[in-house]
Structure 1
């Protein structure tokens, strides 16, 4: 199906239609579209062989470049990395990884998942087919999020109220390093409707109580507003950090390549996906850098003490944070981490239970918690 979105440009938003396709194994953009948008192309560390879903080689043959684009779908602003490839008549394809990341109307986030063979499929308007293959051992999933008996000692790791604690400072605290030419700036206060004002007051109250934000006297501030969530009538608080991000030195810490993650799973049969509670809020912002992320509301200035969305280096910081915590399990070859998603995979039930307990013990020691309804 085709859906509308617009790309953020300096002066205006450029609208287009993209193909939303659950059979595509990634996010793809044509070279022509990337050039038209003026996006900087980055060379991939490892090139990727490309096939169409019918088994024929894609005309691009190899994917060697990617671009990062910020775009808006309905009222939601998103930033993602797209692989540059030949897409036939299409300009952009949003595949299964996009659906899983944003958990769109169809809930693709499941407890067990099977994966294709070692290649990325670009479907480009071919007939629909399942990207997920059958034939692996599947576990019964309790949709109510009940914790299995063998994990009873870790029940607290799945309790929401236990997760509402302030993270301690760590060596991987989020750093906001500014370019030498950067100068502070001020911004206007966005007007709010009555419902938005109520949401703002609740947001400030909850986050002040948690210690996630504090009142600020910063010489600069970023705008604060709301965007709609997919749930009807729900609002998402948003800070517009575009100018701050423009003046921030980029952290080049890499996110895992989806193709590499897929390759590591080809001989495994049992999977468990875990989703971390509070996401970015688990990471403390380095003392002395918090004022840089101050945001302005009609209730005053507030600075975040924990990492929020939309800060440019948040993904890199968070991936480094997760890699550091789970590095031993990743080195043993049975744990994959992509941002706040953790995947445990095994060859037998007994082995799987041992590995799951080991991982939960590590999360417990780090005061990290999980979402039971997404496990």
Structure 2
């Protein structure tokens, strides 16, 4: 917290005003009904009694870089500025929807319909915006009440006679209001704004930015450019004895499909995943469109599968496989995408 000491020009002495009054908002309609507000006013209008009192927080605030005599009261519900100050600084004045009647013990009733909306104040180098009600004041320019103290989270230490302001990071913390507080603020003609926030991602994080991927660059390759290494067991397809070679006619393709087939075959030949052959065995190929609009090259090995001797091995238990996934949160498609062309 930042403390304002007694040596500063903009420091405050202390305030504890015992005077109380009542604020009434008189409706401007013909019925002249009066709405009673639970407001408490301790305004002394800077009379001779106020000048002699030692229980006041007095200091200096700045509006348009002009020093102004200011007083703070914790029993005050609103903040005010003098009509002379408004005229002297040429402040912008707005009209209220009704009139404000202020009953004070010193000067009786004071009626006003003018307010300086969002007037910019500077106190101890800190900038504030506050609605200041315009009323006649003598020997006093600005009067700050509980609305200013509460909204800006200002703390008063009556023992040390200091005023404490929150740190900048504390001032940025949003204040949440419940439904009742919102309704009360609307009844008091509070200005409210609606904001819509959206997050904009600068860029999608790629796989190369993952920590695990960076640790094993030889495993997570950008692309496979050659055949897999030699294995201890060579891959072979065993056929049913007496099987004659199977060769199928090609499927019909459009001109665009033939063009795509040519491009993919050139890529496979360049990577040596396929090679030209004059074998009597043959299988047809077809192109399948995926969800991302890309084209997948598929080979029809149905006839070859019919004459192939199947390998015998026990099937894995699904429940055991599911148990192995307990606690897993991240699933990768890397095995699916790089599972092709892995057999020499």
Name the TM-score class by shorter chain.
0.3 to 0.5
Bigger helix share: 1
Question: Which one has more relative contact order, counting CA pairs under 8 Å at least 6 apart?
Answer: 1
> Taking structure 2 as the reference length, what is the TM-score of the superposition?
0.36
TM-score (norm 1): 0.33
